[in-house]
Amino acid sequence: MVDLLLRLVLLLCLLLPGVSQASLLDRSPAPAFSGLVDGTGGQADFLPVAQAFKPGVVAADDQRIRIQFDIAPGYYLYRHRLDFRLTNDSLIRNIVLPDGIAKHDEFFGDVEVYYDRVEIILELAGAASGQQLSVDFQGCADAGLCYPPETVQLQLPGEASSVISPALPDTADTNAERLSILALALFFLAGIGLTFTPCVLPMLPILSSMVVGRKDIDRPRALALAGSYVLAMALTFALVGALIGLFGAALNIQARLQSPAVLITFAVFFGLFALAMFGVFDLRLPAFLREPLERAGSRTRGGSIPGTALMGALSTLVVSPCISAPLAGALVYISSTGDAVGGALRLFTLALGMGLPLLLVAVFGNAFLPRSGPWLNSVKNLFGFGLLGVAIWLLERVLPGPVSLALWATLAAGLAVQLGLFDRSPRGAWGHIGHVLALLSAIYAAIALTGALAGASDPLRPLMPLTAGSQRSAEADSGFFTRVSSQADLQRELELARKNQRPALVELYADWCISCKIMERTILAAPEVREQLEPFARIKFDLTDNTADQRSWLSAQKLFGPPAFLYIDAQGNEIEQLRLMGETDKETFLTHLRKVTVR
């Protein structure tokens, strides 16, 4: 039973990094599992452009202007679409843009984008106080919505000023996201998992006897002593987490993670940490630091709350080889967030997870401890695979998509071997189930490698190029939709549909809208969709030029940009409850079509 559970956890080790691409250091959310082969997303609630992207002037003087964009989670800004103009254009001598995250865009090609926050410096040739600064930008939502190009005006102060209030996001929302219950729960579970490694679990009874000090002790006293050990350990971990978070903030590591060189360096670190978990080498403090700390810990006596608390604090400085590599990975991650409070809470929670088994042993004895055995090495290897997954995750930003997918395939193949793919020893019913999991991992590895060779890049949709290539593009069949580009032309087509007593479908489209092209390939080109669309007047409102006329229509309709679909009944009235905004899936699209048909 234990062996089966370990195999399940090892399989999740492969799946979780691909599913949670929005967490840790990558900001892009992954699509749903339903898109494994042809993949499309569902509906989402989108923010107005002014809430998704908030530019503001952070500081200004006679030499430079610092601009900060605060970007809502799940949204990104195109680096090459940023532009800045002053009333006197000749004053801007240079625009300093940080490196962005590499992204392949079907319209723009290979581009760089910004997530979360970006700071831009305008170097000036003279004083610009009191002038208007025009900021041009364009961004999209990961859930499948592209905003038209936008321009906002920022007023510079009348005199040079070192600090001006920027457009800051809701700090409560940001902190709530950073310190989410899910993230803390994962750190807590990781702490428990670290206890079940070959360097730690066999030592728990010995450590318990050292903490408690004697055998003839009641349970409340044992709980108090063990609790003081765990709490002191957790508080010391929290202090380390806070210091590492402050260190990351001081060096602005989060911004530097947009640099390919830094990403590659971090990926190498996580790869080395993984090798340590696989037993290639031991990752420990140097002897000249470790040995004095060990001697100090050995002289500390348990049996009293101050003594056990001191033991707990010292234990954080002398960690075993099984814990050091994952802990180092956690510290690297915390430094990348630049969040002192979040770093403290995460490591505090990790330490509580590590201390929970000790509390149980101190109070109830060894009855709750599983027997030591080879399965402990499987737990250690589990953390190794997780660290390798993080390394690949980081490299996805700098490597071509197919190469990244090939790395995921390699990781899945290694995981299949770890799960016992080639193990021919006798096994019971649970062992056969574990073998099935190994086969599934191997099958995914083969599918991912095939997708990589076909040019795919999404680990959750590895066969998308093969399935999409067989479908006929709706864009190629220009006669199926009537293309319009102005309000007047749109109203003319809608009036014609009303006179002919036909329902109408209005598609919002733009050449720079990637989700539009995806939906035309995967939805509008499907024969069953075209069959359902035959009774409709099909109108494509092309917003590529982003004219004032088009922008005013979007505002009047309370729409943010393409893609979107508006369903109009035969009387010429929009059925607002059926409006679709952003990238959607074929089933949802067809369901809405049928609802219009039956009216």
Looking at the domain assignment, is residue 516 inside a domain? yes
Sign for the pseudo-dihedral over CA of 449, 453, 457, 458? negative
pLDDT in tens, 407-424: 999 999 988 888 777 877
Percentage of the chain beyond pLDDT 90 is 11
Question: Residue 109: which CATH number?
Answer: 2.60.40.1250
Of 37, 35, 73, 32, nearest to 53 by C-alpha is 73
Query: What pLDDT band is residue 500 in, cutting at 50, 70 and 90?
Result: very high
Residue whose token pair is 């737990």: 379
pLDDT in tens, 119-130: 998 888 777 777
pLDDT in tens, 38-81: 333 445 567 888 888 999 888 888 788 889 999 988 889 998 88
Higher per-residue confidence, 516 vs 36: 516
Same domain? 129 vs 274: no
The pLDDT of 511-520, averaged and rounded, is: 80
- Strand arrangement, sheet containing 580-581: 482-484, 537-542, 504-509, 564-568, 580-581
Query: Could you give the CA distance from residue 498 to residue 496 in angstroms, rounded to a whole number?
Result: 5
Query: Could you give the CA distance from residue 348 to residue 325 in angstroms, rounded to a whole number?
Result: 17
Same domain? 521 vs 593: yes
Looking at the domain assignment, is residue 213 inside a domain? yes
Same domain? 247 vs 359: yes
Calculate Rg over the CA atoms of the chain. 29
Q: State how far the alpha carbon of 406 is from the alpha carbons of 20, 22, 399, in Å.
A: 19, 20, 11
* Both tokens assigned to 515: 């989700």
pLDDT value, residue 507: 93
pLDDT value, residue 162: 44
Higher per-residue confidence, 191 vs 327: 191
Computed over every residue of the chain, the mean pLDDT equals: 74
Looking at the domain assignment, is residue 454 inside a domain? no
Same domain? 113 vs 244: no
Looking at the domain assignment, is residue 447 inside a domain? no
pLDDT value, residue 356: 85
In one-letter notation, the amino acid at residue 514 is I
Least confident of 147-161, 196-210, 229-243, 354-368: 196-210
Looking at the domain assignment, is residue 476 inside a domain? no
* Both tokens assigned to 27: 């900001």
Query: Could you give the CA distance from residue 5 to residue 17 in angstroms, rounded to a whole number?
Result: 19
Same domain? 226 vs 349: yes
pLDDT value, residue 20: 40
Which of 169, 202, 220 delimits the end of a domain? 169
pLDDT value, residue 438: 86
CA geometry: angle 313, 315, 316, nearest 5 deg: 75
Pairing state between β 132-137 and 150-155: antiparallel
Query: Could you give the CA distance from residue 235 to residue 344 in angstroms, rounded to a whole number?
Result: 8
Query: Could you give the CA distance from residue 93 to residue 342 in angstroms, rounded to a whole number?
Result: 39
Least confident of 67-76, 360-369, 378-387: 360-369
Higher per-residue confidence, 565 vs 302: 565
Q: State how far the alpha carbon of 171 is from the alpha carbons of 70, 124, 168, 246, 514, in Å.
A: 11, 31, 8, 18, 31
Same domain? 296 vs 334: yes
Does 34 score more than 70 pLDDT? Answer: no
pLDDT in tens, 523-534: 888 888 888 898
- Return the axis-axis angle of helices 305-315 and 219-250, rounded to nearest 10°: 40
Query: Could you give the CA distance from residue 50 to residue 62 in angstroms, rounded to a whole number?
Result: 28
Looking at the domain assignment, is residue 267 inside a domain? yes
pLDDT value, residue 200: 62
Query: What pLDDT band is residue 445 in, cutting at 50, 70 and 90?
Result: very high
Which of 339, 364, 398 delimits the end of a domain? 398
Sign for the pseudo-dihedral over CA of 29, 32, 37, 40? negative
Q: State how far the alpha carbon of 599 is from the alpha carbons of 246, 497, 535, in Å.
A: 60, 16, 13
Q: State how far the alpha carbon of 393 is from the alpha carbons of 27, 105, 159, 270, 361, in Å.
A: 11, 19, 46, 10, 37
Query: What pLDDT band is residue 158 in, cutting at 50, 70 and 90?
Result: low
Of 404, 440, 343, 430, nearest to 104 by C-alpha is 404
Residue whose token pair is 């997918």: 405
Backbone angles phi, psi at 9, to 5 degrees: -65, -40
Same domain? 185 vs 297: yes
Same domain? 76 vs 144: yes
Same domain? 147 vs 236: no
Residues in the chain: 599
Looking at the domain assignment, is residue 364 inside a domain? yes
Looking at the domain assignment, is residue 545 inside a domain? yes
Same domain? 528 vs 576: yes
Same domain? 218 vs 308: yes
The pLDDT of 557-561, averaged and rounded, is: 84
pLDDT value, residue 199: 59
Count of alpha carbons within 13 angstroms of residue 530, beta-carbon side: 16
Query: Could you give the CA distance from residue 305 to residue 585 in angstroms, rounded to a whole number?
Result: 60
Q: Which of 51-65, 372-386, 584-598 has the highest mean pLDDT?
A: 51-65
pLDDT value, residue 495: 93
Long-range pairs, 302-305, Cβ under 8 A, ≥24: 302/210, 302/211, 302/212, 302/213, 302/225, 302/229, 303/212, 303/213, 303/214, 303/225, 304/213, 304/225, 305/224, 305/225, 305/228
pLDDT value, residue 566: 92
Query: Could you give the CA distance from residue 104 to residue 222 in angstroms, rounded to a whole number?
Result: 58
pLDDT value, residue 283: 60
* Both tokens assigned to 485: 């580009």
Query: What pLDDT band is residue 161 in, cutting at 50, 70 and 90?
Result: very low
Same domain? 121 vs 192: no
Higher per-residue confidence, 260 vs 468: 260
**Structural domain of residue 583, as residue ranges?**
482-597
Does 246 score more than 60 pLDDT? Answer: yes
Which of 124, 152, 169 delimits the end of a domain? 169
Q: Are 316 and 230 in contact (CB under 8 A)?
A: no
pLDDT value, residue 499: 93
Query: What pLDDT band is residue 214 in, cutting at 50, 70 and 90?
Result: low
- Strand arrangement, sheet containing 139-141: 101-105, 109-115, 75-78, 139-141, 145-146
Does 464 score more than 80 pLDDT? Answer: no
- Return the axis-axis angle of helices 287-299 and 305-315, rounded to nearest 10°: 170
* pTM of this structure: 0.46
List Cβ neighbours of 309 (8 Å cut-off, separation of 6 or more): 228, 229, 231, 232
3-class state of residue 497 by DSSP: helix
Q: Which of 195-204, 356-365, 512-521, 579-588 has the highest mean pLDDT?
A: 579-588
Higher per-residue confidence, 91 vs 29: 91
Q: Are 505 and 493 in contact (CB under 8 A)?
A: no
Query: What pLDDT band is residue 287 in, cutting at 50, 70 and 90?
Result: low
State how many domains the chain has: 3
